[in-house]
Structure formats: C-alpha cells, structure tokens
Amino acid sequence: MKRNGVQLILILLGAAFVFVMLILPLITVMTYALRQGWETFAEAITDDYAVKALKLTGFSTVITLAVNTAFGVFASWAIAKFAFRGKQVLTTLIDIPFSISPIIAGLIFILVFGRIGWAYPLTESLGVKVVFAVPGIVLATIFVTFPFISRELIPLMQAQGNEEEEAAALMGAKGLKIYRRITLPHIKWALLYGVILCTARAMGEFGAVSVVSGHLRGKTNTLPLHVEILFNEYKLTAAFAVSSILVVTAIIIMILRNIVEYKLKKEEG
C-alpha cells in the first residue's frame, strides 16, 4: 500500500493526540520531578514518609495479589469447567467492582466497618481497627481489583475445553495434580497477565483508598495519597518526584504487559 496524503494526515493527527494527551503528562512528571536537581529529587523520594508510604503500597499490593489470585484460580475453575444454573448471574456479580466508582467502593467499607457500621461492635470487641487503618486500605484495594484475574482466566479456560482434564481424571489423577500438570501450563501467561493488570491498579488505587484511609502520615498513607498531600501543600517538586516512582513502575508494567500479551497471542494462535 502506498502512502498518500490522507494516510499521512490521519497518522499525524493520531500521533498528535497521543503526544498531547498521553506523552506530555509523562514528560511533565519527569521535568517537574527533576527541575530542582537530583539532590532535591533524592531527598523527596528518600523522605521518611515517602518510604513508609511506599512500604504500605507494596504491602497492600502483595496482599491484594494473593487474595485475588486465589479467587481467580477457584472462580475460573468453577465457572469454566462446570455447567450449572446461574452462571451468567455469578459472572455478572463478579464484575460488579468494575462498574462502581472507587469512591463508592470506599464508602461501602465505611458503611460496614465505620462508626455507624453493623460490623463496628464486632471489630471493636476484637480490638481491630478497619476504617482509617491498614485493613481498610487493603480491603478497598482488594475490592477494586477483585475481578482482574478471574476475568483473564475464565474466557481462556472456556475456550480450551475440558478434554485433557477429563482424560487425566479418568486415569486417576487427583485434583491438585490435574491443575498443576495440565491446567496451569495452559493458562500461565493469562494468569501472569491478570497479575500484571492487578498490580498496576492495586498500587495506583486512589479514590477508594482515600475514602477509608484517613490520611494519617506514616501510618495509613499509600504512595498515591502521599502524592496528593504533597501536591495540596504546594510541594510540587516533591509531589512529582514521588510520582516519578509510580510512573517508572507503570512503564515497566506496560512493557511487561506487552511481552506477556505477545506470548499469549502466540500460544492462542
């Protein structure tokens, strides 16, 4: 196909859109982060509160990944390998967190565990603080990313069918062995893909976490919340320096995602 004028205009138009809408914000983060030199940058990202926020973000991301991977594995097995009534309803229910505003995701945990919540007396008597504490942050993050992994696994496992697992079961293999030897090798890239998406969303979650966090510095501040506080205090350089950690992580995640997507396509096709 020879390139003509219309093609060139369309490509330039698309490239201009991507440059202004997507690339410029990234450049903004990096420029502002470094505008007062490396020393200020290093100071901002090694600040005590920033490090604590980073640790909390890491912690809640790891717990979220563990919970959602477990859910994804069990849910995809139940939904893809068996026929039962109400499957459509079940998959719709699993997708609920996708369609709900993060603010509402935070709100519902306040309604359960907050001072007016019905579970408040129970958690109080156990001496556990959920809202305005770390458990609330973790719960809200799990909620928001809940369907990420099951959603990647279910369509793939449905498309692959049950024949191999059935054969293995008929030959006497136990459930765990079937899963490890037959199912897992087929879905490993999809599982990894789901884990990557889940990581990106979990570490960046802002709305839901900001509702339940209470913004206690050094205690319930995640990295995105720390960025918000710095920005609202007009500490622009520090806000963008901390943001740059998240930007670099996001770019690494995008590259990993592309690699895994390529592997996935190769396996399917």
Partner 1 sequence: MPKRAMGTNTGRSIRRRRNQVIPGFGLSMGVTIFMLSLIVLIPLASVFVVLSGATPQEIWKAITDPQTVSTYKVSFACAGIASVVNVVFGILLAWIITRYKFPLRRVLDGLIELPFALPTAVAGISLTTLYSDKGWIGGFFAKFGVMISYTTIGITIAMIFIGIPFVVRSIQPVLEKLDPQYDEAASVLGASKARIFFKIIFPEITPAALTGFGLAFARAIGEYGSVVFIAGNIPWKTQITPLIIKSKLEQFNYTAATSIALVMIIFAFCVLFGINTLQARINRIAQG
In this structure, which long-range contacts are made by residues 263-266, counting pairs with CB atoms below 8 Å and at least 24 apart in sequence? Answer: 263/189, 264/189, 264/190, 264/193
Within residues 10-69, the interface with partner 1 by CB under 8 A covers 10-11, 13-15, 17-18, 20-26, 28-29, 32, 67
Q: Kindly tell me which of 188 and 215 has the beta carbon lying closer to partner 1.
A: 215
Q: Does 93 bind partner 1 (CB under 8 A)?
A: yes
Report the site for partner 1 in 216-255 (rule: CB under 8 A). Answer: 223-225, 227-228, 231, 236, 239-240, 243, 246-247, 250-251, 253-255
Report if residue 77 touches partner 1, rule: CB under 8 A. Answer: yes
Q: How far is the CB of 157 from partner 1 (least distance, A)?
A: 12
The yes or no reply on residue 189 touching partner 1 (CB under 8 A) is no
The answer to whether residues 257 and 197 touch, using CB atoms and an 8 Å cutoff, is yes
What token pair was written down for 247? 């930007």
Q: State which of residues 41, 132, 189, 206 lies at the interface with partner 1 (CB under 8 A).
A: 206
DSSP 8-state code for residue 93: H
Q: Which are the contacts of 209, defined by CB distance < 8 A and separation ≥ 6? A: 106, 137, 140, 141, 222, 224, 225
User: 157 to 176, contacts with partner 1 by CB under 8 A?
Assistant: 158, 162, 165-166, 169-170, 174-175
Which of 2, 99, 266, 269 contacts partner 1 by CB under 8 A? 99
**Shortest separation between residue 58's beta carbon and partner 1, angstroms:** 14
CA distance readout (Å), 45 to 51, 96, 167, 186, 255: 7, 36, 55, 41, 23
Give the C-alpha distances (Å, rounded to integers) separating 263 from 76, 156, 186, 267.
Answer: 21, 14, 12, 6
Q: Which stretch binds partner 1 (CB under 8 A): 45-53, 96-104, 120-128, 186-194?
A: 96-104
Binding to partner 1 by residue 258, rule CB under 8 A? yes
The answer to whether residues 97 and 105 touch, using CB atoms and an 8 Å cutoff, is yes
Instruction: Please report whether residue 180 would count as binding partner 1 according to CB under 8 A.
Output: no
Q: Is 78 in the site for partner 1 (CB under 8 A)?
A: yes
Rounded CA gap, 242 and 45, in Å? Answer: 6
Contact mark string toward partner 1, 133..152, x via CB under 8 A: ------x--xx--x------
